[in-house]
Amino acid sequence: MSDSQLLPTGQKKINHLEMIEISKFFPGVIANNRVNFDVKAGEVHALLGENGAGKSTLMKVLYGLYPPEEGAIKLDGEQVVIGSPVDSIGLGIGMIHQHFMLVESLTVAENVALGLASTRGPLTDLDIVSQRIQELSEIYGLQVDPKALIWQLSVGQQQRVEIIKALYRGAALLILDEPTAVLTPQEVDEFFLTMRKMMDDGHALIFISHKLHEVLDISHRISVLRDGHMIGTIPVEGATKEKLAEMMVGREIGLKKERVSNEKSEKKLILKNISAQSDRGTPALKGIDLEVYSGEILGVAGVSGNGQKELAEVITGLRNVTSGQVVLEDEDVTGLSPKELINRSLSYIPEERMRDGMIKEFTVAENLILREYDQLPFANNGFLNLKNISTHSDEMIKSFNVKTPSQETTVKSLSGGNIQKLVLARELFRKPRTLIAAQPTRGLDIGAMEYVHLRLLEQREEGTATILISEDLDEILALSDRIAVIFEGEIMGIIDREEATTERLGLMMAGVVE
């Protein structure tokens, strides 16, 4: 760590930031209960906790998005008032949000320049901004094209934009709320290089993640929140996954379920020579052939953006094919509407749960019946049966352990992980005969992740044909019977679980043909 009081960006360091006895209430929820937390220059302080424990809330208080009910914030020993992001940015605090805060229709440079004074007065100075972006990219290894439109970028690239945005504003303290949840393993490695560089320069970093091995890898200290309470802060030396998990959940977890061998029987879903286009009109799928048997989990591994999204959408009726055939249960279903496919017992866990999985303004109960709102027992002759709907959502909330004040709460005020649990509850409850699961455990805490794995394996034993799309090779290897690797819209090969290794899959994911 360098001794200068300045960072390479020219900004003053934040030597010590303390949050003291912070409380934050929401209707029906105590999200933070007299929480103490601090971070120092040159360290990574990890914040752990189950879904809904209050991590994002605590960080939003620090960034000035929520006013706390009580408590104080001290910066280098002096009390500061942070009433809005203007204040926190002014103090050198930056935040990378769990759900990105980017304007999709604007360019990278425009997103960075937004809200900043321009050197040309009222006129934009995007050329100068772009230059500075290039400089920052070089210092921290964050390659990104300033002229690209946000919606054209991959998730990993969008994240780089978020980091550059914060650094550009002179952030000396960076809050990273689940930055790695959306990254591929390679991207995580690159991201850690950036984090290490910032740490060495004297940035103070707060790191939130559900992946314990990452936390153990990069942090100096680790704090654990549970139900809004600070359970404790420990140095990374001597910390183990088991210890952290126990601190998080308050008990030992061990839901692990072994994959039992299963007779695979009839072919449920067949894709014949499927081609389709991406949103941008470029070819996304190029002649895909796949077969999934009932009682089987077919893993689709690959770096995201190689056609996984389009593949899932083609099968679920959300995207038209340009050629090829989808056969479900011996019937050609190419071009059928999502509703008709739902009626054929097809379920879909979408990757973009906030956009495709839930209606944010609807309540928990309403979201839970989005698929079968018009069928018994939820509706009869066009009338909703509110009593059944209510009983049903209580059951779902309980069995999936969703943290929500009530079933009348709108989904937008739930924590990220709990929203994912709701999607899973809705899709798995009906015991689908065919299931498309895209990144089903992204953003889930370890307990919830094990639970989802358990449910997917249970479905498999009951004969469901599952396509599991995931970037997480551990997940793929733990659950799949066969593994297909997708690269640039083509299947590079399909191998049995027994023959698959991380290395072999890694090579195939990079486009190396066997």
Partner 1 sequence: MIEKFFTEAVLVGIIASGIRLATPYLYASIGETFGQRSGVLNLGVEGQMLLGAFAAFYVSLTTGNLWFGLLAAMLTGLIMGLGMAFVSINLQAVQGISGIGFYLFGLGLSDLLFQKLMGTVVTVSGFRPIYFPVLSDLPIVGQIFFNHNILVYGAYAMVFVAWFVLNKTTLGLKIKAVGESPEAADSLGVSVSKIRYLTISFGGMMSGIAGASLSIALLNVFQQNMTSGLGFIAVALVYFGGWRPIAVMGGALLFSMVNSLQLWVQVLNIPIPSDFAVMMPYVLTIIALVVTVQRVRPPSALTKPFERGH
Q: Does 103 contact partner 1 by CB under 8 A?
A: yes
CA dist 416 and 183 (Å) reads 16
Which of partner 1, Mg ion, ligand ATP, none binds 193 (CB below 5-8 Å, type-dependent)?
none
Q: Quick one: 353 or 371, whose CB is closer to ligand ATP?
A: 353
Which of ligand ATP, partner 1, Mg ion, none binds 52 (CB below 5-8 Å, type-dependent)?
ligand ATP
Please work out the total of residues on this chain that contact ligand ATP, with binding judged by CB under 6 A. Answer: 20
**Residue owning tokens 């050609």:** 332
Site for ligand ATP in 1-30 (CB under 6 A): 26, 29
Q: Beta strand pairing status for 297-301 and 465-470? A: parallel
CA dist 403 and 444 (Å) reads 12
Q: Does 56 contact Mg ion by CB under 5 A?
A: yes
Residue whose beta carbon is closest to ligand ATP: 417
Which of partner 1, Mg ion, ligand ATP, none binds 418 (CB below 5-8 Å, type-dependent)?
ligand ATP
CA dist 98 and 171 (Å) reads 18
Please work out the total of residues on this chain that contact partner 1, with binding judged by CB under 8 A. Answer: 31
Q: Does 241 contact partner 1 by CB under 8 A?
A: no
Q: Quick one: 302 or 416, whose CB is closer to Mg ion?
A: 416
Which of helix, strand or coil describes residue 97? coil
CA dist 438 and 446 (Å) reads 18
CB atoms within 10 A of CB 337: 11
Write phi, then psi, for 26 (nearest 5 degrees). Answer: -120, 160
Q: Does 100 contact ligand ATP by CB under 6 A?
A: no
Which of helix, strand or coil describes residue 40? strand
Q: Does 32 contact Mg ion by CB under 5 A?
A: no
Q: Quick one: 220 or 403, whose CB is closer to ligand ATP?
A: 403
Residue closest to 50 by CA, chosen among 251, 227, 253? 227
Cite the beta strand spans of 189-296 per DSSP E. Answer: 204-208, 221-226, 229-235, 267-277, 283-293
Residue closest to 205 by CA, chosen among 55, 40, 86, 78? 40
Task: Please identify, among the stretches 20-28, 32-40, 98-106, 424-432, the one whose residues bind Mg ion according to the rule CB under 5 A.
Answer: 98-106
**Interaction mask 58-97, partner 1, x per CB under 8 A:** --x--x-xx-----------------xxx--x-----x-x
Q: Does 482 contact ligand ATP by CB under 6 A?
A: no
CA dist 449 and 497 (Å) reads 20
Q: Which residue in the set 53, 95, 161, 369 belongs to the binding site for ligand ATP (CB under 6 A)?
A: 53
Q: Does 294 contact Mg ion by CB under 5 A?
A: no
Task: Please identify, among the stretches 29-37, 103-111, 269-277, 281-289, the one whose residues bind partner 1 according to the rule CB under 8 A.
Answer: 103-111
Q: Does 54 contact ligand ATP by CB under 6 A?
A: yes
**Interaction mask 160-199, ligand ATP, x per CB under 6 A:** ----------------------------------------
**Interaction mask 415-454, ligand ATP, x per CB under 6 A:** xxxx------------------------------------
Residue closest to 24 by CA, chosen among 62, 79, 77, 78? 62
Q: How far is the CB of 409 from ligand ATP (least distance, A)?
A: 7
Q: Kindly give, in sequence order, each residue whose CB lies less than 8 Å from that of residue 48, ignoring residues fewer than 6 positions away.
A: 55, 208, 209, 210, 212, 215, 222, 223, 224, 225, 244, 247, 248
Site for ligand ATP in 370-409 (CB under 6 A): 403-404
Which of helix, strand or coil describes residue 47? strand
Which of Mg ion, partner 1, ligand ATP, none binds 84 (CB below 5-8 Å, type-dependent)?
partner 1
Tokens of 126: 């995007």
Q: Which residue in the set 45, 165, 268, 353 belongs to the binding site for partner 1 (CB under 8 A)?
A: 165
Site for partner 1 in 367-426 (CB under 8 A): 412-413
Q: How far is the CB of 163 from Mg ion (least distance, A)?
A: 18
Q: Quick one: 268 or 319, whose CB is closer to partner 1?
A: 319
CA dist 213 and 197 (Å) reads 20
Which of helix, strand or coil describes residue 199? helix
Residue closest to 373 by CA, chosen among 363, 384, 362, 364? 384
Which of helix, strand or coil describes residue 133? helix
Sheet containing strand 78-80, strands side by side: 29-40, 16-26, 70-75, 78-80
Q: Quick one: 146 or 416, whose CB is closer to ligand ATP?
A: 416
Task: Give the residues lining the site for partner 1 (CB under 8 A).
Answer: 60, 63, 65-66, 84-86, 89, 95, 97, 101-106, 110-111, 113-118, 122-124, 165, 169, 412-413
**Residues found near Mg ion in the complex (CB under 5 A):** 56, 98, 416
Q: Which stretches of the chain bind ligand ATP, using CB under 6 A?
A: 26, 29, 31, 49, 51-57, 98, 403-404, 413-418
